[in-house]
Structure 1
């Protein structure tokens, strides 16, 4: 049996990883087309990855896979609800953990606490259709083309990379928030974080992040 047949950990992780990467590329292109310049949309300090997009791809897959043969209307509603929930709670937990936000829809009509709004929820609905009808089947076929042994090794290597990257990113942003509040480093780890990830570097990586 192929290592990623059906819906299992290996396939879901590769979808999550791919979504984290491709989502950033799409945002970069959208930013360039809309504003005429490139601006980082990364959520991690190493590489063009953003876990919000990966979580979105993962949750859309889990929510819609069973109903992938249903109507486009069903896929739209699934994407609308699922994407809105993901976006809301990602914003909520970012603010809870780091006292910061990366998006604010307060100026857009029909928003909920500035975390989600009707316009982007509609985009999530359209993405739900596109994802489960077009994108997911293609990604799944690519994953199934990966040799079994090589695929398992690659997944675990990438998993270690993402966990390490996420841990360092979380610590770097947390220390950034402390520096803004004029808190001096209290241990050697914080000294290293201050040296490796000064405010200037993090401001470039997290171009849209603002602290409350």
Structure 2
């Protein structure tokens, strides 16, 4: 089983502690191996998330994945996996065969960030920026899109999962937004039943671009309703 329980992409959902416990108990009972993708864990905004599934794994059933690509720099290409030694050895062998291993320089840079304390200070700054960006995005959504859509406020990560009311076609919204220079991810690229959703990211665009982009989306929808 693959799971992304902390600030899930694309929905931004944070799995509750009780649900995590139920999930790991089920997987142990059914002898179901788990890949836990936890690359967004450090991007909490309000409060630290519950402990990973891996923390409850007493049988070597969970492969735990982390990365610096979401918090520090995608260009470092540095991540990690935690699991049974025999599995890690096999994965290391496969990686060596596929790309001869990660860059030594990138690994040295990552080691310096993690051991020096710089990474923890960096995360504090990132969380503050995400808090401000999320506020701007939510304020703009409330101001411009509330008649046409609903959403939950994410507790971390980069994404807001927005449900467009069924009276408007998301495919048309995507096409018209793209022609105006605004890129949104339609829900159907993640799951067919998510056709009325769009994923908005507040992690990259400037604050002015966030506000203007959401305003333009509302104008596209408003025009369609007329």
Please give the TM-score of this superposition, normalised by the length of structure 2: 0.26
Q: Normalized per residue, which structure has more helix?
A: 1
Decide which structure has the larger Cα Rg and report it: 2
Comparing both chains, which one has the higher relative contact order based on Cα–Cα distances under 8 Å and sequence gaps of 6 or more? 1
Please give the TM-score of this superposition, normalised by the length of structure 1: 0.28
Q: Normalized per residue, which structure has more strand?
A: 2
